[in-house]
């Protein structure tokens, strides 16, 4: 197998869930040239994971996929470029294939594979298998590869960090005030507004964490600065607002030295899983059976479709701080302080 193209035109969290699949393909085909065809932003992902991916082709989008505004005028050039590469294998790793199998078929690869929707006939050409209705996203993708004869190489996530990530982080205001392990990150944003837990609840969590001695760091993109500013103003204690137009790598570098993170179900939760950073992930509108971190010891999920369960999030934070506590801090004081915060909110 000389050349392989993997099609997955999705955003950060979805792409990180595919890293175990990319790892499996690389181990199975160590000498092959492996290309990712994805959204333009994912070129940075290929640069970060060059041990698994060799090349990148930017997919301009189509009307039936909502991940980015489509550039229909660029599609003929995109398909001509991909076909000219004469791939030996094209694998559709973007959902059930209902909208994407036709895209991958147009790549003109010698062999095409992927899922197809349950109850519908498979494409006439290629190796296609019914899309699982249940199961974690990471394991669905690994299952596809396994039926293609590509063994899994573990289901853990990865996120390599580089010197440039830390240099970018150090340029942010307030970083010199942060002591590794003595701050906690709150990530209140999400691309999908339906996933966002209320800002006032994040403010209450921040106050409780400040009360037991942690610096509170608010994280987000530049577009989420208004959200983090509202939370900072709602808190009775000071916080550090790090929402800024920085790279994903800089955000990951910030998370890497934090004590834990409280976040919505969004891409940052998958970075936390990759960094083995304890996290509390709040699920307001999505399915944790598909998207939650796989390690139930290091991470806690809170199902809160009503967006009211502040006490449940505080209890999850308390469990993590007690379960992963480092020497030199009295666990009883953590239990007492957070329990008092719970009582104040009831």
**What ranges make up the beta strands (E) of 188-345?**
215-218, 240-241, 261-264, 279-283, 299-303
Contact indicator for 245, 212 with CB cutoff of 8 Å: no
Name the 3-class secondary structure at 282.
strand
Would strands 183-187 and 33-38 be described as parallel, antiparallel, or unpaired? Answer: unpaired
Pairwise CA distance, residues 37 & 109, whole Å? 13
Span 3-147: which CATH code? 3.40.50.2000
- CA torsion 231-235-237-240 (nearest 10°) is 0
3-state SS assignment for residue 121: coil
**Closest to 60 measured CA to CA, from 46, 45, 75:** 75
Partners of residue 303 on adjacent β-strands: 283
Tokens describing residue 129: 């298998």
Do the beta carbons of residue 290 and residue 95 sit within 8 Å?
A: no
Alpha-carbon distance of 75 to 83, in angstroms, equals 12
State how far the Cα of 67 lies from the Cα of 72, in Å rounded to an integer: 14
Other C-beta atoms closer than 10 Å to the C-beta of 266 total 24
Q: Where do the structural domains in the chain lie, given as residue ranges?
A: 3-147, 163-345
**Left if phi > 0, otherwise alpha if psi is -120 to 50, otherwise beta: which for 322?**
alpha
The reported pLDDT for the residue numbered 327 is 37
Helix axes 248-256, 267-275, angle to 10 degrees: 50
User: How remote is the C-alpha of 138 from its chain's centroid?
Assistant: 11
Under CATH, domain 163-345 is a member of which superfamily?
Glycogen Phosphorylase B; (3.40.50.2000)
What is the structure's pLDDT at 69?
Answer: 85
Averaged pLDDT in 10-residue chunks for the chain of 346 residues = 94 97 98 97 97 97 87 94 97 96 96 95 92 95 96 98 95 87 97 95 98 96 96 96 94 97 97 98 97 96 96 96 56 51 52
CA distance 101 to 25: 19
Distance CA 84, CA 234 (A): 56
Cα 132–chain centre separation: 21
pTM of the full structure: 0.92
pLDDT (0 to 100) of residue 328: 38
Report, in angstroms and rounded to the nearest whole number, the Rg of the chain calculated over CA atoms: 22
**Residue 323: its pLDDT value, please?**
80
Q: Is 239 helix (H, G, I), strand (E, B) or coil?
A: coil
Length of the chain: 346
């Amino acid at each position: 197998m000389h050349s392989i193209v993997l099609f997955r035109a999705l955003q950060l969290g979805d792409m990180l869930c595919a890293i175990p699949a990319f790892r499996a393909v690389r181990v199975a085909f160590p000498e092959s040239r492996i290309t990712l065809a994805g959204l333009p932003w994912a070129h940075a992902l290929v640069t970060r994971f060059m041990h698994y991916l060799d090349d990148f082709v930017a997919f301009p989008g189509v009307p039936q996929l909502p991940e980015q505004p489509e550039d229909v005028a660029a599609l003929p050039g995109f398909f001509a470029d991909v076909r000219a590469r004469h791939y030996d294998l094209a694998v559709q790793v973007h959902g059930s294939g209902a909208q994407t199998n036709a895209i991958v078929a147009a790549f003109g690869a010698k062999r095409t594979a992927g899922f197809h929707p349950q109850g519908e006939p498979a494409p006439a050409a290629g190796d296609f298998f019914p899309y699982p209705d249940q199961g974690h996203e990471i394991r669905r993708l690994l299952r596809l590869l396994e039926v293609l004869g590509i063994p899994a190489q573990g289901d853990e996530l990865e996120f390599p960090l580089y010197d440039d990530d830390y240099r970018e982080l150090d340029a942010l205001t307030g970083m010199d005030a942060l002591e590794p392990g003595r701050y906690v990150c709150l990530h209140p944003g999400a691309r999908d507004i339906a996933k966002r837990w209320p800002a006032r609840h994040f403010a209450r969590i921040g106050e409780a964490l400040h009360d037991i001695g942690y610096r509170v760091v608010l994280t987000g993109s530049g577009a989420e600065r208004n959200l983090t500013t509202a939370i900072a103003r709602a808190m009775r204690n000071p916080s550090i607002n790090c929402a800024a137009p920085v790279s994903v790598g800089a955000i990951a570098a910030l998370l890497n030295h934090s004590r834990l993170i409280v976040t919505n179900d969004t891409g940052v939760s998958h970075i936390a899983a990759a960094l083995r950073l304890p996290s509390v992930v709040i699920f307001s509108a999505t399915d944790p059976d598909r998207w939650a971190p796989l390690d139930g010891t290091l991470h806690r999920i809170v199902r809160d479709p009503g967006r009211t369960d502040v006490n449940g999030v505080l209890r999850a934070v308390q469990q993590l701080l007690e379960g992963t506590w480092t020497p030199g801090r009295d666990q009883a004081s953590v239990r007492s302080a957070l329990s008092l915060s719970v009582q104040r909110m009831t």
